[in-house]
Structure 1
């Protein structure tokens, strides 16, 4: 019989890998290679100060944005940009980001609306219209951050002391949730998230469902939307401690699925933070339909963590999901600590 892979053992495995030289990714090196590949004109579009309010201007709909896009880059610059993105995520997180961008091709075909343009005249559905912004100067000594954002993607990173210390807010979205036509027919980028969410719901007894389901109507979107600072939502749902052994296993698979989108070094620290806050303090809550095909929503919530998943739009075939660190989105907690120490010096 194989030994159980507990949350603590997963952490230990990540630490071992780090000592083996596999972790962490060389994000700082990739950022500087990317910046050094840019012309002064493109750099001017890309660079912002760390204190610029643009850093908190999160959005996930197709609107005009700040930052250089793939339209601005030659092939060398595109590769450098994607190398930075790959280094900042796990392979799984990077795969999801690439497949979400490709869904713009699907939307362009199925919507068949050549008049749907952005203000610059480009098509609204555009897999190249994803923006890179770097905040501050990439350095081991000073904090800095960067963002990759476009339709259905908002990936925000903060680095201090040469490592990623914040990777939230993290937003992934898919439209269509399940592709019904075109050469991409059958693709479902966020399939596992949906499967595990329903699996956990369907494992509940009738008595547990009274605690888990807080409304029969799912919200139209994730509740936190694009807020810079997430207010603590009402603590609802069933606590991890009140789950059966099998339910706890599914719960942890779902939680790990989200954490495993991150670069390994950050993921290890994020796990440790969640564990210290108490796994027993995490809750699972559901709203809406108990079956796919109609609007549904779930969330995992704890003292420092909020995960939301919503599938209500386009006849429940349009997914929005987000991870928020309730104490350290945009690296605010880590940056505060850094500046206090600098001030003392």
Structure 2
């Protein structure tokens, strides 16, 4: 069991806001009671999902913990360009689908779950053709290792533009690497505009706008956006510490940087999000913010956060429309991808 006490010790006001298209009130870190260990609930939900499957489906979805190939089998590419393994969402019954959603809900925060569902639903806006298959049905589930409250295991879910890799080890959950993207980045659902990553862009632009001219000269490294450096297949790439470090920011700017990071840190449930932000706060001075592209609010710029415990990338893509409406994104922990720091 972990507490939020270390967050208080970090001396940083955390703006933890709701994710996805919803806006939520921020709150400052204040002394709080211990947050209950979420792992037993994750294990119970996963076993309940397994209980809905046939014997053949269980064989397809389960992989040995030693299967490092499957642990790293994920991509942002659509079905038809990348071969995944496990169970495909469109082949599951409604009861099986609901059982899996329960696993995601207990592992993720309400804000994180909403964001992931919105990213996922965006794929339904794309037309299939040319051998490529888009839509929510073309997402895959895999379980690596045996669900346990004590020994490590991983659940894996993803498809085109969104993947979550969740490694569970004892009371710890690591959601890295995960792909946090969307195409389209803005769409209409039930008459409302949905922007799965809208609050992320808003937070990044607010941080950029708070920088002085001298600070911007350190942070802005190019006039056009660039592609991901740390996407699928880049597990061994060393962190690029460039841009402006946290040590060069004012207290208010550090709060803005941590607010941006919390959009990703809060992907996890409350217990693991608190632990995650404690880790990042401890090395905030050594965490860098870099920007490539226009310094306007058009949404067509790349940004990156790189620190000892975090890598975040947000990369517009020109393919399939305007760059601001097609986003690739990554969330990693250089020390804890695939649970390296919690399963050793």
- What TM-score do the two structures reach when normalised by structure 1? 0.84
Change (3 A) 1:42 1:258: same
In 1, Cα distance between equivalents of 2:60 and 2:322: 38
1:27–1:87 Cα contact (<8 Å) kept: yes
1:101–1:127 Cα contact (<8 Å) kept: yes
In 2, Cα distance between equivalents of 1:253 and 1:201: 13
2:177–2:331 Cα contact (<8 Å) kept: yes
1:254 corresponds to which of 255, 260, 280? 260
2:114 corresponds to which of 90, 95, 105? 95
Measured after TM superposition, the shift of residue 237 of structure 1 is 1.1
Pairs aligned (count): 317
Residue in structure 1 matched with residue 327 of structure 2 by the alignment: 319
In 1, Cα distance between equivalents of 2:111 and 2:236: 26
Residue in structure 2 matched with residue 51 of structure 1 by the alignment: 66
Task: Check if 1:194 corresponds to 2:221.
Answer: no
Measured after TM superposition, the shift of residue 173 of structure 1 is 1.0
Return the structure number with greater helix share.
1
Residue in structure 2 matched with residue 167 of structure 1 by the alignment: 175
Give the alignment of 1:19-38 within 5 angstroms: 21=36, 26-38=41-53
Change (3 A) 1:45 1:125: same
Give the alignment of 1:177-188 within 5 angstroms: 177-179=185-187, 186-188=193-195
2:74–2:84 Cα contact (<8 Å) kept: no
Measured after TM superposition, the shift of residue 56 of structure 1 is 0.9
2:235 corresponds to which of 229, 232, 242? 229
In 1, Cα distance between equivalents of 2:143 and 2:201: 33
Measured after TM superposition, the shift of residue 310 of structure 1 is 1.2
Measured after TM superposition, the shift of residue 133 of structure 1 is 0.2
1:285 corresponds to which of 290, 299, 314? 290
Name the larger-Rg structure.
Answer: 1
Change (3 A) 1:12 1:229: farther
Task: Check if 1:301 corresponds to 2:301.
Answer: no
Measured after TM superposition, the shift of residue 335 of structure 1 is 1.9
Q: 5+ unaligned residues in a row in structure 2: which ranges?
A: 1-7, 16-26
Change (3 A) 1:182 1:256: closer
In 2, Cα distance between equivalents of 1:263 and 1:172: 17
Change (3 A) 1:260 1:217: same
Change (3 A) 1:301 1:25: farther
1:329 corresponds to which of 322, 337, 342? 337
Measured after TM superposition, the shift of residue 208 of structure 1 is 1.1
Change (3 A) 1:231 1:261: same
Measured after TM superposition, the shift of residue 194 of structure 1 is 0.7
